[in-house]
Structure 1
Amino acid sequence: MDVVRPEFVPDPSLSTAEMEALQRDIADVAVFDDDHGVDPAAVAIDGPVGQSTLGEAGDGAADEPDADRPLVAGVDQAFVGDRAVSAVVVLRGRTVVERAFAVEPTEIPYVPGLLSFREGGAILSAFAELDADPDLVFVDGSGRIHYREAGLATHVGVTLDVPTVGVAKNLLCGTPRESLDRKLPEGTRVPIDADGDVETAERGTCIGYAVQTRQYESETQYVNPLLVSPGHRVGTETAADLVLATAAGYKLPEPTRVADSYADELKSEV
């Protein structure tokens, strides 16, 4: 998969001010509305919880039950010392049709809001190894829920010009309309509004959702929601719809769950 906007390829040698300026430029061209052909119903993973299975790369024969379903990629990262291990897994339904990875040095430390300059290069290198052309990409990281509306999912999505959804575990910025410090029923979505920390969006703009994909039945335990936001060419509501449709009984949507497992596998090999 080729880079479409080379001017946005993350450069860790930039100064903090230059990185932030580039993120504002990315946010200017990012599309936070639906500009894709992916119906959440077409990617929904139903039935009992089960392990996705590895099939033939690029397999999509007409007589296969999932042959007409969109290709959905999941991206996750692992770290070995000062190296980032980026894993990309492409699924059609629950069938893994291709996997790719890249290992690159992390040239800068983690800085909140500048994650794409630490990890983005490895992710783009992994995508360069793919033969498949995904219809949709789930990224383990923020999209529009970001200080400059240009989190990792947005940076990757705009650079590759591919529809992306950001799926984060922690809230970077923005204000939930309701408290998240409680047990939310499965399927709940709580809007996250831009606040004073989001410099590129009008205060009160919905920039994403806290999405409760799974919940314990226990009264004493609860699962925290995911923080879901559009990366590029996906609307805010649709991003939440897509994550709920692909959760498949787990907290994480299936594409990033399988990518996470692959990243752990690669980490042990590296």
Structure 2
Amino acid sequence: MLSVQRPDLLPDPALSREEMEALQREIAAEASFENDLSFDPAAVTDGPLSTPGEGPPLVAGVDQAFLDDRAISAIVVSRGGEIVERVYAVSELSIPYIPGLLSFREGGPIVDAVAELTVEPDLVLFDGSGRIHFREAGLATHMGVVFDVPSVGVAKSLLCGTPTDTTDNLPEGARVPIEADADVTAAAGTVIGHAVQTRQYDSGNRSINPLIVSPGHRVDADTAAALVAALTDGYKLPEPTRRADAYAEEAKSLFDG
């Protein structure tokens, strides 16, 4: 199962804002935005028949629901679309939401949920940013480095960076690179992620915004986008995080009211 590999980088709500930001810069320095995977991405993007002898990897989706001052962190692990394990944990929240410091609010509860897993995912998708972050250390990067697991951030809105083209009314399947700009610590022009249009209406009268996908750890930007696109099945969200979102709400209902 997954275990903490870098306890020195665990989210600590006792830190000051300046100390949290300094820790994020350290995390970014430790992160790898190149492919270092235990599986061939083609087993996901092109299907297992393209990789003889290699089945699809275990992919986990992580999402949260909130109830008063508690977080309900849910993880759903699947292989080839079939659910292998579902776990959740209920944790007290210790800091408010602060833009750019999401992992310090949500990271501890996610660590609690990971402790419940009995399988070890090959890839983890998080509902949040990875490298598309002011200090290149969003939730997916922070947790990816802490557990030293390949990870991808799947966000619903752009935190920072500049798309190389318009992201309005993109056709389904389109991807637009997002480059670092003056708000990001990466060198200007570095591709730090993609806007990925996983679903779109047939009519031009309304449109669906793209997902903002970025590498978390041990995955490059192009592969992260390709994996998310391949893991999407008829919905805007990829199946791992869509299922985790649903399971978090299901678990929340046990405590709500």
TM class by shorter chain equals over 0.9
Q: For residue 243 of structure 1, what is the aligned residue in structure 2?
A: 228
2:103 match: secondary structure: helix
Displacement after TM superposition at 1:45 (Å):
9.2
Measured in 2, the distance between the counterparts of 1:215 and 1:126 equals 33
Q: For residue 30 of structure 1, what is the aligned residue in structure 2?
A: 31
Identity of aligned residues (%): 65
Are 1:193 and 2:170 an aligned pair?
Answer: no
Q: For residue 222 of structure 1, what is the aligned residue in structure 2?
A: 207
Q: Counterpart of 1:222 in structure 2: which amino acid?
A: S
Contact 1:40-1:245 within 8 A present in 2 as well: no
2:74 match: secondary structure: strand
Length-normalised TM-score, structure 2? 0.94
- Superimposed CA distance per residue, residues 113-144 of structure 1 (whole angstroms, 9 cap, x where no aligned partner): 00000000000110111010000000000000
Q: How does 1:169-180 map to 2 (within 5 A)?
A: 169-180=156-167
Q: How does 1:47-58 map to 2 (within 5 A)?
A: none
**Which one of the candidate residues 98, 112, 125 is aligned to 1:138?**
125
Measured in 2, the distance between the counterparts of 1:16 and 1:34 equals 31
- Superimposed CA distance per residue, residues 24-68 of structure 1 (whole angstroms, 9 cap, x where no aligned partner): 00000100000003333323598xxxxxxxxxxxxxxxxxxxx93
5+ unaligned residues in a row in structure 2: which ranges?
48-53
1:75 match: secondary structure: strand
**Which one of the candidate residues 137, 141, 146 is aligned to 1:154?**
141
**Runs of 4+ deviating beyond 6 Å:** none
**Which one of the candidate residues 61, 64, 86 is aligned to 1:99?**
86
RMSD: 1.5
Length-normalised TM-score, structure 1? 0.90
Measured in 1, the distance between the counterparts of 2:39 and 2:130 equals 18
- Superimposed CA distance per residue, residues 227-251 of structure 1 (whole angstroms, 9 cap, x where no aligned partner): 0000000011000000011001111
Contact 2:45-2:226 within 8 A present in 1 as well: no
Contact 1:38-1:136 within 8 A present in 2 as well: no
Are 1:71 and 2:72 an aligned pair?
Answer: no
2:206 match: secondary structure: coil
Measured in 2, the distance between the counterparts of 1:263 and 1:79 equals 9
